[in-house]
Amino acid sequence: MKPVISVFGGHDSSISIYDPNSDRFFVIELERIDPEKHYFCYIHSYNRNKITILKALRHLKRQFGIENDFSMMIMKKTCQQTRWDSNVVENTVKAERYCYVNTHHHVAHGWCAYLQSPYKNAIAISWDGGGDHCSFMVNGFKDNKIVWSEPRKYNFGMAYNHVGTAVESISVKTDIIDVAGKLMGLTAYGNETENTEGYMEHLDYVASYDVNDVTSPAMIDTQRHDRKMKYLEENIPGFSTWYYLRHKKNETKVELMKGDAEKEIAYATQKFMETRMLEIIEKQLLDKLENEYDNNLCLSGGCALNVLVNQAIRKRFPHLNVYVCPNPHDGGLSFGLIGDFLTRKGYVDFNKYNITYAGLRLLDDFQIPDLVKERGARETTTDEMVSMIREGKIIGFCQGTSEIGPRALGNRSILCNPEIPDMKDILNSKVKFREWYRPFAPICRLEDAPTYFESPTFENMETMSFVADVKEEYKDKLPSITHVDGTARLQTVTETSNPLMYEILTKFGGVMLNTSFNVQGQPILNRATDALMVLDKTGMDNVVLEHEGTLYLF
């Protein structure tokens, strides 16, 4: 039987493949092929997209033997008609049938989360900055079927992004897609003030979804954006944004919020997100969750990357089972599309596929033996790796197939010892070059998590999608992964989820710092040569590459 492929061409473009012969899924994020963060097919040329997709398919064939010969190619119909020249796909992907589907943006997000979850019945919330003229949708799933979908008139992602573009600590060079993630790190530095409630009331207006004053759906996003940005500037003293003025073709330098003011509004924005989401769940969904959906809740869409909101849900509703997939961002939409199509046709039975590490191996993995010879590298062991990390070495580590989604989960990671004083600053100054307010994440074995952290549950924490509270006695011992508010974005590992990383953690005997193997502004790397370039051009101490079961130390 021939495989099936789906293509998503928006920002964070990706392709997903189901191979019925191996009963296996593959997900290829195009930013890992053409290393431009948030690779966006719609804004690139026909030739560039064609070359990028062809490269992805060639690597798929070389690594897994899957030919560019598919039974079906699945793609959103809107892409074909209005947003993207479908010829780039039809002239690149060889398929017996090209299927242009009407799957809604947020339905695809819902499928992406539900199909990776362990639940038979679940409600899936999809929320982000906007897709198909909607920013918040609730979907009900039962027995691999979607039984209802309800859009809601909220746009929390827009409100969060608007504030992020108005604060000085988030550089004007920040890609708009990265604003929210950076703002989340800054929120912990603020406190409740007399202005907090006022800010939240203003954000209520910005997050409302009122389309009565627009004449065309195509104009909704632009007109709403302009109107609400102007509202914030008129109602919050000192609020102005480089993004708004750039959008209006006004290059005048603006005075962004800074110091205490930016911390204050960042705190209020995060509190607004948490408060409103908890209200929606409690007042609109809790009864259904408890009585019809076995207390199972899935979260997807870009706002599901807000680990503080995710953990707030767990704390408020400890009886709910909350799952966040590794790819809730738009990079997961190709998997949502293929999942929607295949389940509706009855081709596959989901909830049994773990696609967390469904990416490609290093694209130049076949060159590793030659690189070992050229650079005088040698074989190493996990014991030596652990010893080096204990000593304070910063190690870049690549093994197996890549994680999917925006967070490194032990296969394309930078590892170091969080017990070393000032390791956060050392890592930032030598390698990552990130903003001062952004935290680094811990990784530990699942069974060790209760020793160091507190959380209502440690279930479903394999994808770094929740925070946990660092126990008081370990805050000083683990300073490099303890954020200023005492939390940490924890990833847990089991012997099944990541055997080699589990072995390393077992020998290390505690918590390790894990951050993505890239430098600021670049996607997570997926080439051995890029890993060695980071080694050469930064203060990283060593790189360890796994090849055919052997570890090599560079």
249: domain CATH number is 3.30.420.40
Residues 387 and 501 in one domain: yes
pLDDT at residue 214, rounded to an integer: 40
Task: Say what the pTM is.
Answer: 0.95
SS3 101: strand
Amino acid 249: pLDDT: 55
Residue 9 lies in a domain: yes
**pLDDT tens, residue by residue, 501-538:** 999 999 999 999 999 999 878 999 999 999 999 999 99
User: What pLDDT shows up at residue 251?
Assistant: 56
Domain that includes residue 29, residue range: 4-105+333-344
- How confident is the model at residue 521, as a pLDDT? 84
The letter for the amino acid at 110 is G
| pLDDT of res. 211 | 46
Q: Is residue 25 part of a domain?
A: yes
Q: Tell me if 36 is assigned to some domain.
A: yes
Give the contacts of 90 (CB within 8 A, at least 6 positions apart): 73, 98
Give the per-residue pLDDT at 42: 86
Are 312 and 451 in a shared domain?
Answer: no
Q: Which pLDDT does position 549 carry in this prediction?
A: 96
Residue 30 lies in a domain: yes
Rounded distance, CA 39 to CA 26, Å?
18
Contact at 8 Å (CB) between 315 and 83?
Answer: no
Query: SS3 sequence, 242-263?
Result: HHHHHHCCCCCCCCCECCHHHH
| DSSP assignments along 381-430, one per residue | -HHHHHHHHHTT--EEEE-SSPPPSSS--SSEEEEE-TTSTTHHHHHIII
CATH of the domain at 399: 3.90.870.20
**How many structural domains is the chain composed of?**
3
pLDDT given for residue 88 in this prediction:
87
Residues 229 and 316 in one domain: yes
Residues of the chain scoring pLDDT < 50: 211-219
- What share of residues in the chain are helix, strand, coil (percent, to 5)? 40, 20, 40
Q: In whole angstroms, what is the distance from residue 441 CA to residue 493 CA?
A: 13
Same structural domain, 300 and 424: no
Q: Say whether both 271 and 373 belong to one domain.
A: no
Structure tokens belonging to residue 106: 């947020």
Look at residue 210 in the predicted model and tell me its pLDDT: 55
Residues 131 and 81 in one domain: no
The number of beta carbons lying within 10 Å of the beta carbon of residue 239 is 23
> Domain check: are 76 and 137 in the same one?
no
Q: Roughly what angle, to the nearest 10 degrees, separates helices 499-508 and 382-390?
A: 50
Domain presence at residue 114: no
Looking at the structure, do residues 16 and 61 belong to the same domain, yes or no?
yes
435 within domain boundaries: yes
| Residue at 356 is within a domain | no
Domain identity same for 337 and 442: no
Residue 153 tokens, joined: 């008139």
Beta strand spans in 48-144 (E): 70-76, 95-101, 121-127, 136-142
Is 158 in the same domain as 231? yes
Q: How far apart are CA 65 and CA 80, in angstroms?
A: 29
Joined together, the tokens standing for residue 207 give 């997050």
Q: Do residues 123 and 69 both lie within one domain? A: no
111 in a structural domain? no
Joined together, the tokens standing for residue 209 give 């979804």
Based on the fold, state whether residues 144 and 202 are members of the same structural domain. yes
> Which pLDDT does position 8 carry in this prediction?
94
| Phi (first) and psi of residue 111, to 5 degrees | -60, -40
